């Protein structure tokens, strides 16, 4: 057996030992590289001394880290797709369920719950593609750049890149060993994805309060109070909301590590891994927990419908009707609608509960057809513009996403 074959056989044996937790790491040796070389020497003898030819710890670490981040991206993309499918399934169940749409957390206009849930499918799609784009830029191989300047040995970097699943070898040896953009970019994608999870977690916290009462979570994702038996706390949502900060922190910390480093490798870069490992693990856990909550949550449709009609949420429909039917300039329609809302407030009733005569007292040209657009069901049915909340739009978008996510 020549030295090459001995090294290959020996490394395969050491790999099996590591995978079976049967490898004894020694802190007396400097790092993982010296542990492997020492163990290989004990196993095959002199040929092991050739292991480090044409390579450096710098290019090996950069390569290993890329392999880890690439695998992590693949895993997170799968989880994002799974969460999209969970949202999509709930949107299909609630495609025509009416709820209030909010601006400034104030009731604005009625929307469908299915439409609201599909908004998160859209957000997660952007997250998926950010990770996918980051993976493309990541997928170049530093191996062979050696310490920083390349090597004088006649190595085949195209072969090693292909063997490790990279698209090509890194073109500049200085950049190859010092680049950590791929980590920062992946952490940036992770931070934006985490922010989206935190937004829905916040909505679950708000919606599960007695004041809203839109949603409830089972015991799997909520707990009771130690002294107040009536309370159910949305613990999983609150923990997701809090853990997201660790991901943001890792991104900032990584950028701070790299911002002051000259070419090429500096010991500072040992700080590039711990925060990234924690951030990616945290995002993976949060995606799994959010998928569980989305599948678990139950909605109070009656309370949502009642809230959808509060705060004169169909006032915009009234103003739009004045513009469409009476050819009234929108600014004038806005003023007329404000007067009608003020009258309904004074009468302590909903807009659709005003009589035609009462409305005509403010604008004589209003006809009985106005009642076709008032009321939350009429409102959501009318929002048929592309991207609007009408149930038929929601059903079309559900069909679109079912096709996309099935592949």
pLDDT per position as a tens digit, 157-181: 999 999 999 999 999 999 999 999 9
Is residue 104 annotated as a catalytic residue, yes or no?
yes
pLDDT at 313: 83
pLDDT in tens, 285-340: 999 999 999 999 999 999 999 999 888 888 888 999 999 999 999 999 999 999 99
Convert the chain into a string of H (helix), E (strand) and C (coil). CCHHHHHHHHHHHHHHHHHCCCCCCCCCCCCHHHHHHHHHHHHHCHHHHHCCCCCCHHHHHHHHHHHHHHHHHHHHHHHHHHHHHHHHHHHHHCCCCEEEEEECCEEEEEEEHHHHHHHHHHHHHHHHHHHHHHHHHHCEECCCCCCCCCCCCCCCHHHHHHHCCCCEECCCHHHHHHCCHHHHHHHHHHHHHHHHHHHHHHHHHHHCCCCCCCEECCCCCCEECCCCCCCEECHHHHHHHHHHHHHHHHHHHHHHHHHCCCCCCCHHHHHHCHHHHHHHHHHHHHHHHHHHHHHHCEECHHHHHHHHCHHHCCHHHHHHHHHHHHCCCHHHHHHHHHHHHHHHHHHCCCHHHCCHHHHHCCCCCCCHHHHHCCCHHHHHHHCCCCCCCCHHHHHHHHHHHHHHHCC
Q: What pTM was computed for the model?
A: 0.92
pLDDT in tens, 38-92: 999 999 999 999 999 999 999 999 999 999 999 999 999 999 999 999 999 999 9
Exactly one of 49, 218, 225, 355 is catalytic; which is it?
A: 225
Exactly one of 20, 104, 152, 298 is catalytic; which is it?
A: 104
Is residue 225 annotated as a catalytic residue, yes or no?
yes
């Amino acid at each position: 057996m020549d030295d090459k074959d001995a090294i290959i056989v020996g490394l395969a044996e050491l790999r099996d030992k590591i995978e079976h937790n049967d490898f004894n790491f020694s802190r007396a040796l400097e790092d993982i590289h010296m542990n492997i070389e020492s163990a290989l020497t004990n196993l095959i003898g002199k040929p092991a001394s050739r292991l480090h030819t044409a390579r450096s710890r710098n290019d090996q670490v950069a390569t290993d880290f890329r392999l880890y981040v690439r695998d992590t991206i693949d895993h997170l993309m799968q989880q994002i797709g799974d969460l999209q499918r969970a949202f999509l399934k709930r949107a299909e169940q609630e495609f025509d369920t009416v709820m209030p749409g909010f601006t400034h957390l104030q009731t604005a206009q009625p929307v469908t719950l299915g439409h609201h849930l599909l908004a998160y499918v859209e957000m997660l799609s952007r997250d998926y593609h950010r990770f996918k784009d980051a993976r493309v830029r990541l997928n170049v191989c530093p191996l062979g750049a050696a310490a920083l300047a390349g090597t004088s040995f006649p190595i085949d970097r195209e072969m090693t890149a292909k063997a490790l699943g990279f698209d090509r070898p890194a073109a500049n040896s200085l950049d190859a060993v010092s680049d950590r953009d791929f980590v920062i970019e992946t952490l940036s994608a992770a931070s934006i994805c985490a922010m989206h999870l935190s937004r829905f977690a916040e909505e679950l916290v708000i919606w599960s309060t007695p004041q809203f009462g839109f949603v409830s979570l089972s015991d799997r994702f909520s707990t009771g109070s130690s002294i107040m038996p009536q309370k159910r706390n949305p613990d999983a949502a609150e923990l997701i909301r809090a853990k997201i900060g660790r991901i943001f922190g890792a991104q900032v910390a990584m950028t701070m590590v790299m911002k002051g480093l000259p070419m090429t490798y500096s010991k500072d870069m040992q700080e590039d891994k711990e925060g990234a490992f924690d951030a990616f693990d945290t995002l993976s856990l949060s995606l799994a927990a959010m998928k569980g909550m989305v599948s678990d949550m139950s909605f109070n449709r009656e309370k949502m419908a009642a809230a959808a009609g509060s705060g004169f949420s169909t006032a915009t429909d009234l103003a739009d009707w004045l513009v469409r039917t009476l050819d009234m300039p929108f600014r004038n329609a806005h003023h007329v609608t404000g007067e009608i809302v003020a009258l309904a407030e004074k009468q302590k009733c909903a807009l659709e509960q005003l009589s035609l005569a009462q409305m005509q007292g403010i604008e004589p040209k209003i006809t009985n057809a106005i009642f076709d657009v008032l009321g939350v069901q009429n409102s959501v049915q009318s929002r048929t513009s592309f991207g609007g909340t009408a149930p038929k739009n929601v059903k079309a978008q559900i069909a679109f996403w079912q096709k996309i996510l099935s592949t």
